[in-house]
């Protein structure tokens, strides 16, 4: 199987990135407006007219569908995983480490492109999946990062919602961060060059992990960079904060966002019951966080919250790069990897990660 086919399959089947199950990726404007009682029915042009022309044919292959629910989550979890790319691509190795106090072990997937080398950077990855699912085909992504950025990649198989509510996944991710830092010599890792990141819900977890690590600085587990690929950063989007009329019609809708955040938090998304520390956008201060790269499509539901988070980081003196891709919806780069906007997007975040590693050494 070619890398491109694997990535396309990944996009079609992975929640939080492709989300063919449970969402309405080709929802009509009327359907999108009906998804949230909190949305204001403002006039907007045909949402398809806002999509990049190269992305449009693949997007239109998706019929209007049902929305994210407990049943679609159950169906998705039963889907078989896509295998890793064969050698000579570096092969993923499964490892189990001690979990947080009183919690189960945490499974890691480790991809090392050069096992004999010393002083390598490390990218601690958190997968997407709407907080509730594990992408069945994210292995090729890990392999491509390890190869293209010449770093060890460790991906955390954190506990999923709704069975595990906040802060369970955060505690798993922090346990993984401490473990890779403590075992750096075993893998030839330079402790000063540990970055965190992820896509969609994985970006949420990465942003939360960076905040958590900052707030527990007495343990001295430094993070040199955070890579946030169209992250969900604000539970209020699509609930107490109505979505702008031009965004959120494809791949990830306001109703899906409410369901996902509520499943993670255990309380209604957007409500006053949400713990502030659980949501990056609600945290009072972003000062002292690691440098960041944030990328999102202009018609992604998360566009506004991602831009706002980047603004806060800049105002707090955190070195930040923001890329907003015109005409791109959630997960566009994985659905249509050969599109020019997808190639530019992937080249940008990989370049940012390589630069972060180079300047942190």
Show which residues are catalytic. 200, 300, 330
- Of 114, 197, 121, the C-alpha closest to 355 is 121
Helix axes 139-149, 340-360, angle to 10 degrees: 60
Tokens (6 digits) for 282: 């609600």
- The answer to whether residues 154 and 123 touch, using CB atoms and an 8 Å cutoff, is yes
Tokens (6 digits) for 174: 């922090």
Q: How many other C-beta atoms lie within 10 A of the C-beta of residue 111? A: 25
- Distance (Å, rounded) from C-alpha 321 to C-alpha 350? 13
DSSP character for 185?
A: G
Q: For the chain, where are the alpha helices, taking DSSP H only?
A: 3-13, 29-34, 56-59, 70-77, 139-149, 168-182, 201-215, 254-265, 303-315, 332-335, 340-360
- Distance (Å, rounded) from C-alpha 313 to C-alpha 231? 15
202, 203, 207, 212: CA torsion to nearest 10: 0
DSSP states of 124-164: EEE--STTT---TT-HHHHHHHHHHHTSEEEEEEPPPTTTS
What Cα–Cα distance (Å) separates residue 322 from each residue in 67, 306, 360?
30, 9, 20
- Of 74, 360, 81, 342, the C-alpha closest to 230 is 342
Phi/psi of residue 127, nearest 5 degrees: -75, 160
């Amino acid at each position: 199987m070619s890398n491109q086919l694997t990535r396309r399959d990944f996009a079609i089947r992975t929640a939080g990135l492709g989300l063919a199950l449970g969402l309405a990726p080709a929802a009509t404007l009327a359907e999108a407006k009906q998804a949230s009682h909190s949305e204001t029915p403002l006039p907007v042009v045909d949402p398809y007219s806002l999509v990049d022309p190269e992305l449009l044919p693949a997007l239109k292959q998706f019929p209007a569908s049902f929305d994210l629910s407990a049943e679609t989550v159950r169906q998705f979890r039963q889907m078989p995983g896509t295998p890793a790319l064969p050698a000579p691509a570096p092969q993923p190795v499964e490892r189990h480490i001690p979990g947080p106090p009183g919690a189960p072990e945490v499974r890691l997937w480790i991809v090392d492109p050069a096992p004999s080398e010393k002083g390598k950077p490390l990218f601690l990855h958190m997968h997407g999946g709407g907080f509730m699912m594990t992408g069945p085909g994210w292995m090729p992504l890990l392999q491509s990062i390890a190869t293209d950025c010449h770093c060890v990649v460790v991906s955390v198989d954190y506990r999923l919602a709704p069975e595990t509510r906040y802060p369970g996944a955060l505690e798993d991710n922090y346990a993984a961060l401490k473990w890779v830092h403590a075992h750096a010599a075993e893998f030839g890792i330079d402790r000063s060059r540990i970055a965190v990141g992820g896509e969609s819900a994985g970006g949420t977890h990465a942003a939360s992990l960076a905040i958590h690590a900052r707030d527990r600085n007495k343990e001295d587990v430094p993070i040199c960079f955070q890579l946030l690929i169209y992250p969900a950063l604000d539970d209020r989007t699509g609930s107490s904060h109505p979505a702008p009329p031009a965004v959120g019609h494809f791949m990830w809708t306001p109703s899906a966002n409410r369901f996902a955040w509520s499943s993670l938090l255990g309380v209604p998304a957007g409500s006053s019951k949400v713990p502030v520390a659980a949501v990056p956008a609600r945290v009072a201060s972003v000062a002292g966080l690691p440098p960041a790269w944030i990328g999102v499509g202009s018609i992604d539901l998360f566009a506004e919250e991602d831009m706002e988070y980047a603004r806060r980081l800049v105002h707090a003196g955190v070195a930040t790069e923001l890329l907003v891709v015109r005409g791109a919806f959630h997960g566009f780069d994985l659905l249509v990897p050969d599109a020019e906007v997808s190639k530019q997007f992937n080249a940008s975040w990989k370049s940012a990660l390589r630069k972060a590693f180079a300047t942190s050494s």
